[in-house]
């Protein structure tokens, strides 16, 4: 070595370029690369052009580093070869970066290859760069079957391939992921799968091509299940309509038959019994109609149900000159409580109209329905003659009061009687969620 600069000295672990003067340059090269370097050195000294080359170089302390070397022959005045000049660059960090990048690419490919969903990478020159194992397994197509995007589109979409290809080509420059929704695709065996597609741009590759990654989720079974469920729901709706229609007709038929039977009887007790039975059927019928009309088979609003129930009872007992005042707070009552409550209100209101105003030409019944937090209260108050002291809910033998007692127990509620200026029945119960 004739001369070197300061940067070279430092690169090889020396303090000064003077320390490199007269140094055998072969000793700066790792022993495993010396033979190859000697051959290229001979080529340079013969005046031939030498390629850019890479050696493992050795520092003063024996440590090694990767180097890139560019050399040029030096000529004298008579074009005689005097030697050569070499430029050495430490590329260790570049090599590490390249190695790390290569490893990350391998890991990326492995991750894509082993992913549990179908994945394709395609480029803007129309090539399919990659398809993973799941893509090949589900479709039956290999890299040889679909080397280009056009090949894939023709095989997967048939006559619609041109339309799908136009959609696919508009994605290369879009930012962020894009969901495309469900599309049917045709497999190699002719079966149809439904895939939910999503894409994202990978930007520009090292060779300048734009790349896009396409991921899919096979939703074939789910879509088939959804269609089957829709079909079952339609069938259920038709069946439910038929059942509702038949049930309403049957309840109305029973109600009408009871009233017709009552109209043919001369015995007042028989007439009363039949009218009471008709009233109970009507209470159930009103509840059923409201549930069907509202479309909610699990709950109703008190403000919808009870006014209709009370008006229906008054319609049956139109010959009794009674005024009914309704104070009904609107809140939701579940199906567990509604049927018993309807029958209780029906029974107490009917009893008041029949017995509370004996010997009077008119009277008034107040029905107050309210709630506080999760507790509800129904109060039925009349200004009639008052219920006899002999009537006790705990010891009653009458069918009506026995039924009321059972219904109150059914909703885990309580009932009390207040006697005075008329009679007041109070029912308390807890609203269930």
Predicted pLDDT at 430: 93
Q: Are residues 84 and 112 in the same domain?
A: no
Picking from 71, 90, 109, the residue at the C-terminal end of a domain is 90
Q: Is residue 53 helix, strand or coil?
A: strand
CA–CA distances in Å: residue 310 to residues 282, 338, 367 = 10, 14, 9
Cα dihedral value 382, 386, 389, 393, nearest 10: -20
Q: Are residues 250 and 279 in the same domain?
A: yes
Query: What proportion of the chain, given as a percentage, has pLDDT over 70?
Result: 94
> What global pTM score does this model have?
0.46
Provide the terminal-to-terminal Cα distance of the chain, rounded to the nearest Å: 95
Q: Concatenated DSSP letters for 302-352? A: HHHHHHHHHHHHHHHTTTS-EEEEEEE---EEETTTHHHHHHHHHHHHHHH
Q: Are residues 210 and 232 in the same domain?
A: no
What is the 8-class DSSP label of residue 82? Answer: E
Contact 333/348 with Cβ under 8 angstroms? no
Q: Are residues 284 and 312 in the same domain?
A: no
Q: Are residues 305 and 411 in the same domain?
A: yes
Helix (H) or strand (E) holding 312: helix 302-316
Q: Per residue in 269-311, pLDDT tens? A: 888 888 878 877 877 777 777 666 655 556 788 998 899 888 8
Contact 47/84 with Cβ under 8 angstroms? no
Picking from 180, 202, 218, the residue at the C-terminal end of a domain is 218
Quick one: pLDDT band at residue 51, thresholds 50, 70, 90?
A: confident
Q: Are residues 195 and 227 in the same domain?
A: no
Q: What is the mean pLDDT of residues 81-100?
A: 84
Q: Are residues 14 and 86 in the same domain?
A: yes
Q: Are residues 291 and 354 in the same domain?
A: no
- Among 75, 96, 97, which Cα is nearest to 85's? 75
CA–CA distances in Å: residue 320 to residues 304, 310, 351, 360 = 25, 14, 12, 10
Q: Per residue in 385-413, pLDDT tens? A: 888 887 777 777 778 888 899 999 999 99
Say what angle helices 302-316 and 338-355 make with each other, to 10 degrees.
40
Average pLDDT, the chain: 86
Q: Are residues 147 and 44 in the same domain?
A: no
User: What's the token pair of residue 353?
Assistant: 């109209």
Number of structural domains (the chain) is 4
Q: Are residues 35 and 146 in the same domain?
A: no
- Residue 20 belongs to domain spanning: 6-90
């Amino acid at each position: 070595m004739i001369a070197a600069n300061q940067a070279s000295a430092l690169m090889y672990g020396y303090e000064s370029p003077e320390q490199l003067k007269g140094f055998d340059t072969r000793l700066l090269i790792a022993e495993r690369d010396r033979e190859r370097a000697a051959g290229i050195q001979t080529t340079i000294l013969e005046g031939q052009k030498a390629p850019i080359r890479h050696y493992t170089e050795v520092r003063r302390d024996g440590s090694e580093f990767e180097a890139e070397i560019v050399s040029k022959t030096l000529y004298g005045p008579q074009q005689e070869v005097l030697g050569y000049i070499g430029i050495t660059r430490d590329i260790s960090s570049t090599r590490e970066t390249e190695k790390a990048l290569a490893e990350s690419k391998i890991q990326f490919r492995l991750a894509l290859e082993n992913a549990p969903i179908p994945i394709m990478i395609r480029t803007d020159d129309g090539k399919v760069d990659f398809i993973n194992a799941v893509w090949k397994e589900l479709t039956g197509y290999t890299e040889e079957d679909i080397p280009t995007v056009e090949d894939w589109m023709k095989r997967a979409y048939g006559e619609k391939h041109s339309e799908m290809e136009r959609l696919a080509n508009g994605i290369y420059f879009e930012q962020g992921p894009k969901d495309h929704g469900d599309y049917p695709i045709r497999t190699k065996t002719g079966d149809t799968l439904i895939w939910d597609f999503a894409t994202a741009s990978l930007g520009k590759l090292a060779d300048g091509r734009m790349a896009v990654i396409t991921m899919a989720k096979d939703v074939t079974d789910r879509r088939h299940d959804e269609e089957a469920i829709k079909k079952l729901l339609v069938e259920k709706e038709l069946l439910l309509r038929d059942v509702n229609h038949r049930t309403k007709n049957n309840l109305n038929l029973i109600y009408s038959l009871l009233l017709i039977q009552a109209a043919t009887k001369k015995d007042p007790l028989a007439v009363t019994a039949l009218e009471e039975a008709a009233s109970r059927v009507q209470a159930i019928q009103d509840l059923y109609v409201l549930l069907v009309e509202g479309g909610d088979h699990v709950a109703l609003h008190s403000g919808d149900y009870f006014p209709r129930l009370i008006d229906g009872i008054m319609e049956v007992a139109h010959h009794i000159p009674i005024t009914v005042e309704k104070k009904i707070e609107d809140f939701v009552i579940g199906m567990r409580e509604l049927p018993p409550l309807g029958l209780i209100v029906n029974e107490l209101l009917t009893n008041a109209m029949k017995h509370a105003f004996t010997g009077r030409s008119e009277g008034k019944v107040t029905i107050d329905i309210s709630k506080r937090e999760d507790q509800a209260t129904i109060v039925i108050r009349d200004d009639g003659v008052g219920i006899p002291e002999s009537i006790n809910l705990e010891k009653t033998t009458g069918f009506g009061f026995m039924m009321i007692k059972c219904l109150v127990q059914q909703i885990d509620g309580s009932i009390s009687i207040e006697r005075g200026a008329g009679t007041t029945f109070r029912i308390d119960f807890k609203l269930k969620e």
